[in-house]
Amino acid sequence: MSDAARADVEMKGGGYYSLATRGAKEVIDRATPLVLQAIDRMKRSSRPFVMSDMGCADGGTSLDLVRTCIDHLAPREFTIVYTDQPRNDFNALFRIVYGGTGLPSYLVGRDWVRVLVSATSFYRQVLPSTTVDLAFSATAMQWMSAKPVNVTGAVHSVFATGAEHEAFAAQARTDWHDILRHRTAELVSGGRFVSVTFGIDERGRFLGNTGGVSMHETFEAIWEELADEGVITPAELLDMTLPQYYRTVDEFRAPFDDGSVPKLALEDVFTRVVECPFAAAYTEHHDAARFAREYVPTLRSWTEGTFRDALSERRSPEERAAIIDEYYGRYERRVREAPEGHGMSYVHVYLVARRA
């Protein structure tokens, strides 16, 4: 990516995202009781209920959650607004939501449900003021509005030190405040914002770094290998930094505690680890090749866009594609040859806030 600040990230399309991210679906399924509790705490009303799913990708991972919310509130008229970025594969979303992939559509037999879609970033106000009852977002708000700097020697800011770390932390503070400010504007009085976002837990654990082989260190090691072999340039290596930040619980709490979002009250905040489903399956089937084949696509689904963009625009699309294939091929080989300890367990900070 020539412009280091660009952060309009892209998940792999064609429905690949939710097929490859069984773990992300499990995270949402396990957040469902929290969402239902948030709904139950709202004042009963007969006006149409509005839910947003911000950073929805192809909508496959939240399909069951949305259906459960619809049925929980039935027969109340229900609108779901899916939001993501312009580069998102919205056609895949339409296929999934409207039943074009074989997954059962919640629209069947529920004629009181409306589906709307927006490609506006959650760093802006997306919906009209005071219209949203439930703003929901899963595994999305670790993506930043912009990448402040590149991180030396790592693809993720979680390993940044000194001035590089401070630049990321400052950007993340502004980003989180902006997210909360815009959700405050969108929510109705008594509405809830449920955020399930990657973070760092009380034991210092984060995505793919919960013991065993560190996923982020493996990402970097393979790019360094390709740089040492002259396949990519030092500038491309540096630009592999993902525009992401994992906040601690204290960082998530800060705007609530210091009064900078006075109209939002924090109701709940806690961390939870959801085990990597592919690593868990490996402990049953013991087939290293199968583990590698099934697991690496989950890494690819959310990193490929950034990594491809970091490759020079002077390279042809075919050359870039070949480097990307080589990269994930090497990751797969590492897992196949030494599977023990690999895995991408999810570490999230769950948060519920109420609009005063």
Ligand X SMILES: C[S@@+](CC[C@H](N)C(=O)[O-])C[C@H]1O[C@@H](n2cnc3c(N)ncnc32)[C@H](O)[C@@H]1O
The residues of the shown chain that bind ligand X, judged by CB under 6 A, are: 9, 11, 21, 24, 28, 54-57, 61, 83-85, 88, 121-123, 138-140, 143, 302
What values do phi and psi take at 118, rounded to 5? -135, 140
Crossing angle for the helix pair 22-40 and 63-73, to the nearest 10 degrees: 20
What values do phi and psi take at 90, rounded to 5? -70, -25
Q: How many CA atoms lie within 13 A of 23 on its CB side?
A: 28
Q: Are 272 and 348 within 8 A, CB to CB?
A: yes
Q: CB count, 10 Å around CB of 45?
A: 11
Least CB distance from residue 328 to ligand X, whole Å? 17
Nearest to ligand X of 150, 306 (CB atom): 306
Round to whole Å and give the CA distance between 223 and 155.
Answer: 9
Radius of gyration of the chain (CA): 20
Least CB distance from residue 123 to ligand X, whole Å? 5
CA angle in degrees (0–180, nearest 5) for 80-84-19: 85
Nearest to ligand X of 122, 307 (CB atom): 122
Least CB distance from residue 225 to ligand X, whole Å? 26
Token digits of residue 221: 């090691």
Least CB distance from residue 268 to ligand X, whole Å? 19
Least CB distance from residue 11 to ligand X, whole Å? 4
Nearest to ligand X of 237, 353 (CB atom): 353
251-264 burial code (b ≥16 CB/10 A, e <16): bbebbbeeeebeeb
The residue type at 157: S
Least CB distance from residue 287 to ligand X, whole Å? 26
Closest residue (Cβ) to ligand X? 55
